Structure formats: C-alpha cells, structure tokens
A and B are shown apart, each in its own frame.
Chain A
Amino acid sequence: MDLRFPLAEPTEAERAAIDAVVGAPGNGNGRVVRGDRHRRHLLLPSLRAAQRRVGWVSEGALGYASRRLDVPPADTYGVASFYALLALDERPAEVLHVCTDLACALAGAEVPDGAHPSPCLGLCERAPASLRTVAGEAPREIQLPETGPPLPQAGEDGLRLLRRIGAGLDPTSLDDYRAHGGYASLTRALELGPEGVRREVSESKLLGRGGAAFPTGTKWEAVARQEASPHYLVCNADESEPGTFKDRVLMESDPFALVEAMTIAAYATGCERGFVYVRAEYPLAHERLEGAFAQARAAGLLGDDVAGAGFAFDIELRIGAGAYVCGEETALFQSIEGYRGEPRNKPPFPVEVGLFGRPTVVNNVETLFNVLDVVAEGGAAYARTGTEGSTGTRLFCLSGHVERPGLYEVPFGTTLRALLDRAGARPAKAVLLGGAAGSFLRPDQLDLELTFEAARAAGATLGSGVVIVYDESADLVAAVLRIAEFFRDESCGQCVPCRVGTVRQEEALHRLASGATLGNELETLQDLAQVMRDASICGLGQTAANAVQSAISNLDVLVPGGAAP
C-alpha cells in the first residue's frame, strides 16, 4: 500500500519494544520488494508493548507500529484511541486504576488524586479493588488486593468445575494437574474421535456460559462441517461484565484445565490454532496461562503432534486493552485482527465467517471447563445434573452485601435464595442478577430457580452469573446511574441507538436524580430502551437499558413520586 508515515521517530526503547513483538526489521535490497499485507493482527500487541515500556503510546510509537506493520497511521490512531487502557497523552510510569463500579462502590471505593477511576476489574470478591500498572524495562500489572477470601466451597463434595481448585491444586504444575486427574478427558476424547466428542457434547445439552446460552454442540457441529479452512478456536476470556470474576478464578487457579479443554474442542472441530483473548486487567491469568502453554508444549500436549495422536494444535494468548465491548465475539475478532473493537453484523455468524474471516468456534472459559466432564463421563450422564433445559452446574459470582463473597458452584435449579443463604447475604432490598446487562430483582422475586428458562420466563437473565446484593443501606440510585454511565462509556460508537441512546439514557436518569426534570423522562427512557433493544448492532446496546428499566419498573427507583432510593 502507498502509505505515508509522517509521524515522529520512535525512541530507542519504543522501537525495541515494538520490534520484540513484530520481529527485527529486514534489509530491503532496494531492487525487489514483495508486498506482505497480513501482519495487522500484531498491531494491538505492538501498541500494548510500547505502552508497557514507556507508560503511554506516543506519536513515535504510533508511527513506528504503522510502518512496521503496513497499517495506515490514521487506522493505527483509530485503534489506539479506541481502548481505554492505551494512553495517547504522556503519563507517569506508575498509574493506579481504582474500580468505582458496582461491588466496589458498595465497599466504599475512593479514587485518590492522580489515580484513574476504572470500570469493574473483576476482583469483586475483594472489593474495593484497584490495579496498579508499572511501565518500564520490566513492566507489570498488580491486582490489588493481591489476595482475596478463600474459595467459599473449598473442600466440599460435589464440586465439578471447581473440583481441583477446591482441593488445593497447584496451578503452576502440569504434574499436579495430572495428579488431580488432569488429561484423562483428552485421553477419552481421542478414543471417541472428533465426531464422537461432538456427539457427547450435543447429548449433554451444554449451553454456553458467557451469557448467550447457545448450545455448544450445535456450534461445534456447525464449524466441524465447514469446508472453508483453516478453522479457529477462540476462548473468550474478556470477562468485563461488572460483577463477574468466575473466568478469572478458573484461569488463575486451574489453567491447565483450559488448555486441555481447548485441545479437546480443537480436536473435535478441526482447529489447528487457538486463541485465548484475556482482558488486560488479569495479569495473573496471563502469567498462569503462558506458564501452562509452555509446560504443555514441553510435554508434547500442544504442538505439531498433540499427545502423539497425529493432530496439530497450539494456543496463543491475546490480551485486550480495556474495552468491555470486546467481549462481544465479533468485536473480539476485530480486536485480535488489529482493528477497533467494533462488532460486526450477524449474519454471517462466526461459525461460518469468524476470526480472519474463517469458521470459528468461540467458547467462554466456563463452557470449556464443562467440556472436560462431558467427555469424561459422557453427555447423557452429564445431563442428569441440573434441569431439562439447563444441564450441569453453574458458577455464580457473589459480591456486594454478603458475608462470604466469592465464586460458587451450584447445580442448575438451585434457587437464588438458597444461593444467597450460602453466601451469607444480608437482607436485601434488591439483588442484581446477571450483571450490568442483567436486571434488579425485588426481595419477593428471590425464590427464582436459577435456570436459563426460569430466568427468561421471569423477564430476567442469568447473564455471566453475577449476583450482587444490595442491602437496605445501599444507594440504588447511584447504582443505576453507574450502570448507565458504564454503558455510555463502553459503547463502541458505531450505531446510533447505542452511541446516542446511552448518552440520552444517562442524561434522563441524571435529570430524574437531580429533580430538574422535563416531565417526560420515563417515556423517553422507555422509548430509548425499545430502540436500543430492537435496533442496536450488538448485545451491548441491546442490554444497555435492561437494568435501568428493571430498577424503574421493579423497584420504582428514580420514579418521580416512587419509592425512596
């Protein structure tokens, strides 16, 4: 491409940081140059590397990344300016990001001078939480507090997804993983063959755990059948729904399980390459996963000939840069490919046209963990847990006004009230179920059976398994305003209903909260909810009004003349 690169030169440090990602520059021989247009997917890693080295993304770094990867500078700027964690203004090397989101607000989060407010960091069980980023020659990110409460159900019988974690697994050791039964599922999968594995998964009626609850077997079957190649496997570990931290716990504490599960998924669907896209704010998960990949490779469990079974599969870690919308699968593809994280229109669906335009399996971390048991015990056996419409167990993230916050595993069909009791929830005036994209439930709605079908029937959603408890002292108005602010901030900006709708929603709520109303706010909010739900491109816009509307209609929050906040 005939691109112009008029920007400033990079510093030596920036050049080195970017070269470490993209490789050393070759020597053109001045006579023959071959075009190579396919390196754009290294753009986000390059920008992240530059930022981690010097604390921000300078004009020189932007220009150098553009030049090395043959990306138009205007595009690079468009990408860099999309992500909240990439700074285009000079910053100090150390920055503190303080979470001001739902659970941390309940725990009294305060943002000191010089620190930046942050959306949910996925550390809700240890609220109030923050993330310190340190740039330099040895860059690092530290999740604070560094440790949290122990796994509430540790040592309990009946744990499946949390079985090994509950039994004190060493997450840095392949041997320990094996000692806990690890890689038995892969052995079984190889006996079943790819079709057999898919059959078991279909029989298990396993539904996706990322929030969309799509039948996993159907998805795998669709990709396996695609003639276009290659096929890709993507694990969506972006986990940015406020109140969610289940995938974080799984990746930090049982990373080999993810590797094994992805290997089985790849085997069953004909993928040679897998990606785990993890949000930037999970540095410990990055470390644990890279460690697991390396050990698995060394043991021949990833690579050209996995377990000697004659198929190739390897996994790459891809790290986000602060964009909730990148948890939407097509936005995730865009992000990996080096573009702004803007969701694509569906159809076509990822099973046909996904990452790099190829057939792609996208699965949530928790979904993949379930595959291990599905394969080990068979789909029919797996389906005997839970209910007819929701098989297996489900992870729930309890936070807010509870005595024992943390990650819980219960069979589908457990009531919300039973779960709240286990977590020691204080008497609640409201429970947020499903995250910011979920809905507020009243105290009299807490006998809800935790299944996909029951939630749907009640006009609610399990979402990503978030359960935040608001006791009598909680400021629900603040929570609703925060949710509106969250969606407005995280909107990618592509489509009118969401880009402008989330702004108008927040404006209307503030008018209601301050009392300086125009007199039409409830009707406006309802219309906004309808157009966002009906006409937004992706799930972010489609769910941006859910919690707000549920607070208004279920709890009379912000309703003029309604219940006190």
Chain B
Amino acid sequence: MLGAGGGTSSYEEVREAADLIVLWGSNAREAHPIWFHHALKAVHRGAKLIVVDPRRTTSAQWADLWLGIDVGTDIALANAVGREIIHAGLVNEEFVGRATEGFEAYRESVEPWTLEEAERVTGVPADAIRELAHAYATAERAQLCWTLGITEHHNGVDNVFSLINLALLTGHVGRYGAGLQPLRGQNNVQGGGDMGALPNKLPGFGDVENDADRARFEAVWGVEIPPRNGLHLTGMFEAMEHGDLRALYVIGENPAQSEADQGRTRRLLSGLDHLVVQDIFLTKTAELADVVLPASATGSEVDGTVTSSERRIQLVRKALDPPGEARDDIEIVYELGRRLGYDLGSPKPEDVWNELRSLSAAHRGMSYARLEELGGIQWPCPDETHPGEQFLHGRLWDPVVAKRAPFTPVVDDPPVDVLDGEFPLRLTTGRRLESYNTGVQSGGFSSPLHRNGSALRLAPEDGARYGVADGGRARVVSRRGEVETGVVYDETLRPGLAFMNLHFPDEVETNVLTIDATDPKSGTAEFKATAIRVEALA
C-alpha cells in the first residue's frame, strides 16, 4: 500500500492529534481493545468517531455517526463518498495535483456513484453518506482505520484501494495525525510479513521476483533463491487439489479450523503425503499430522521480537521454560536445516535478528540494545541514531514528489455467496472480546464473557420468522455444509443479517459454512459474507 506494507500512523497520533477517526469494517472495541483506548481519549477531547459496519457493534455504539451498510458494499460506499467530496468541491486540489497520479481515471470511475445510487446498493441513507464524506474531507487530521471487515472479502484488496483513494483525495496521509491504519489482528502478523513469511516477499520488504533483492540475500545465505513467487495459503490448497502440492510444514497455524470451507480443507490436508505441524498445542491440524514438533509460546517462552500494528518492533522475553520436549522454534528450524543439509549453526534469536538487520535497511538501526533502551522502535529505522519513523509517506508533502501515490479505481463487486430463496440470510462472521481466533489460546481460561460464545446471533425478528426462540437451538445450513448451534437474539443486528464467530470450533465449526472465495492478490477468503438458512430445532 503506497509502497510500504504497514499502517501509516502511530497510536499517539490517534490519541493526541486526530480530530476524526473513521473505523471502517473494524470492531476495535472488542478486537483491539487497548488501541480503542487511544481512540476514546481522542473522543473525550472532542474528536469525532464514525463507524461503518453492518452491525451496530460496541465500537459503533461510541460513534457520532454509524453507517450500517449491507455486507460487501464497501466499494459502493467509498466511491460515493469520493464522488461527493469531488462534487462538493472539497478535494485537496493542491495535494492531488502535486502528490498523486491517476485522478482523472478515478473521477470517472466514481461518477456513477451518486448518493442515491449508493443508498440503493448499501442500504445507508443518502444524507448519512453525505455526512461521512463532508466530515472526512473537512477534518483537519483524519485517521481511516480498518480490519477484517474490509479485507476478508473476495475483493479485499480492492476494498483497501477504495479507502486509500479517499485519503489521497483529501490529503489525509503522510503527515502527523492523519493517516491510514490497518489494525493487525495478530500479535506478529505485521512482523511475519515484514520478515518475509509471504510467498512474494523477502525479509525486510524485498521482492522475490526482483533480481537485485534476491542477489543481496543470495550473497549472505550462499544459496540460489528460486526467482518465482511461491504460493499463498489459498494457492497451496488449490495446488493440493490438483495434486501438485503433496507435503506441508505448518508452523503456528490451525487451518483445519481457521480456513473457510472446512470440509474441503480437512479433505485436502488429509490427502497429503506428509504433514508436519509445529505448534504449542495438539490442534485439530496437528491431529492430522504425520509429525508434530512441539514448539514454544511466543510472549513467554522465547526471546525475540514482534512487530505491532504501528510498525513498532518490541522485544519479547522468555519468562518460562517450554514444557516437556517442546523446543524453541528457531532451534527446531536450524535442527531441521542441519538434517536437510544446510547448516545454519545454532543462532540465538539476537543473532538471527542481527543478520536481518544487515539485510534490511528498514530495521538496520534496531539493535536489541536500542530496542531495550527505547522500549520499541517503529520502522523504518535506518541507523543507530535514528529514533524510528513515527508516520510514513511524509515525502508526499515535499515540494516536488518524485514517486507520486496512485489512485486505483476499483469496481464494486458484491459477495460471491449470493442470497436466494434457499439461502436467504446473510451470515457475517467476526470476533469477540474474550476470545481469539480458533480459541486455542483463549479457551484456556474461564470467564463469564465466554458464556453463550458459540451461538448464532439473530435479529429478534428473524428469530421469530424462523421459529427459533432466544436461547433455542437451530441448524444452520450453507451451500457447503451445516452445523447445529445455540441461538441468541441480538438487537444490534437488523433483520436479514446474522452473526457467528469462529472461536469455539469444537462446539460449533463455523467455517464448515464459510466460502473459500479468495482475493487472488491477498489469498484471504470471504469470511464476511456467507449465505445461509436457519432451521429451528426442537
């Protein structure tokens, strides 16, 4: 995005400087609670909060304005907002002219999206859309923040582009207090990508298919790196389907429960010649494995670094020994390496990190000593005198911008799993405050918040329509499978919209229902839009 792969702004800017925060497809109150503290401090000092979400979530309940869009209509809304900003004369002409390219094509692409047309498609009243557009364009410093509501769609990458376009239109990027923040869901998903655990990336933002980038690594590693991008997770499952991929090494991921269209996932994993799983628990995926390598828990059993949503690298420290025969993940990798014929030595985490620093300009200045002293550093940090970059893309405000930021026109494309007579109800999935992903880590403690956790949530009117009582049970059916579950009435849902989470797969395997329609660019599936029907159970 805009050349870098991280959020542009720090939490401090949200807390101290932003006068408008837009949460689009994010329920940060429950999914990023401490980030939301920063947003609330802003709200308490007078900043406005606008939330775009099909559900009136706990985040939306804090908003000055909530837009309850229909699932999967984000591009329609974003394009209408863009068009309204243009027609109202609120474009930041100076910024657009100096720092961007492709405005004309963008303008043409959003022209059909009148407020009325957007109302028809999204379900949100025209005047609310207008209000969002004007608020965003006239704010002094706006933060546009999103998570899985934007990315867990078959056109997730396009959704993101539609938001970036708005920031470019208004100049809310590249300066203190204004920016774009994808809130990262896991404690080191940012770091994982930054370190090259992506099929097209080398550690430190190099590209696999860039000869010069590969050459730098080849010189240090002493091997030839295949010059082609690898497969992302969806690509891997497709390759399994075709018999092209026959062995899998899974580290700290539980696809047997987290992937969409579980039935297919399980079938493909079971069909592999060889499955190795490295994890701290015997997950459902590990149960399918030929070999399980018990590993260590990040955050308590290893030393190392993780990267947060504000691009901040911080040290994790070992507090406990891993149990039994479990070993440090780095140790597992170099032990495997030795047996596979490549001697990595026996590096400590800091050794690995220092090698990374030598190869990644963005991390070069982040020695463990400096990370310790400063309590964490945001990348890029090119040398040991640099404090870390608080916000990105400041170059867009240079008098002459060498590399202009591009508008990316995108086309609205409704969810793949269409609603029809047989599957009339839109199911969207998401998260809960007390739980985490497939519940492996968060199922370990008991809290009153876990109560009724696995239930399907229905608008009371839908409960009545389908004959299921509040607290009753139902069978939920999609085109791919069915599950039985408890039912809870939820007034934050409007009729036609249902909600389930993925946290209690041993009770309710939500992902049996979801569709594996993925964005080819990101590989993320459309978890947010499933078509279901609900059948009451006695």
Contact = CB atoms under 8 A, between A and B. Distances in A.
- A–B contact at 8 Å CB threshold (below): yes
Interface of A: 1-3, 29-35
A1 B61 contact: yes
Which 7 A/B pairs are nearest by Cβ-Cβ distance? A2-B58, A2-B61, A32-B128, A30-B494, A31-B68, A33-B66, A35-B64
B503 interface: no
A30 B61 CA distance: 13
B65 A31 contact: no
B436 interface: no
B62 A32 contact: no
A549 B465 CA distance: 73
A200 B538 CA distance: 82
B322 interface: no
B19 to A, nearest CB: 16
A31 B63 CA distance: 13
Nearest to A4: B58
A31 B64 contact: no
Q: B interface, how many residues as a size bin?
A: 10 to 19
Contacts of B277: none
Given A3-B61, A31-B123, 5 more contacts: A1-B61, A2-B29, A2-B62, A33-B60, A35-B62
A29 to B, nearest CB: 7
Interface string B64-94: 1111100000000000000000000000000
Contacts of B63: 33, 35
14 contacts: A1-B62, A2-B59, A2-B61, A30-B68, A31-B67, A31-B68, A31-B125, A31-B494, A32-B128, A33-B66, A33-B68, A34-B64, A35-B64, A35-B65
A31 B119 CA distance: 11
B56 A33 contact: yes
A3 B61 CA distance: 8
Contacts of B67: 31-32
B280 interface: no
Contacts of A3: 61
Contacts of B260: none
B451 to A, nearest CB: 12
A340 to B, nearest CB: 20
A226 to B, nearest CB: 20
A31 B55 CA distance: 9
Contacts of B59: 2
Contacts of A30: 68, 494
A33 B64 CA distance: 8
Contacts of A33: 56, 60, 63, 66, 68
A34 B65 contact: yes
Contact of B128 (A1, A2, A31, A35): A31
A34 B125 CA distance: 13
A30 B459 CA distance: 11
Contacts of A1: 61-62
A32 B61 contact: no
B31 to A, nearest CB: 13
Nearest to A32: B128
Contact of B68 (A2, A32, A34, A35): A32
Contacts of B60: 33
**Most chain B C-beta atoms within 10 Å of own C-beta, residue among A1, A3, A30, A34:** A30
A32 B59 CA distance: 14
A27 to B, nearest CB: 13
A169 B2 CA distance: 80
Contacts of A31: 67-68, 123-125, 128, 494
Contact of A32 (B29, B58, B66): B66
B484 to A, nearest CB: 27
Interface in B104-130: 123-125, 128
Nearest to A31: B68
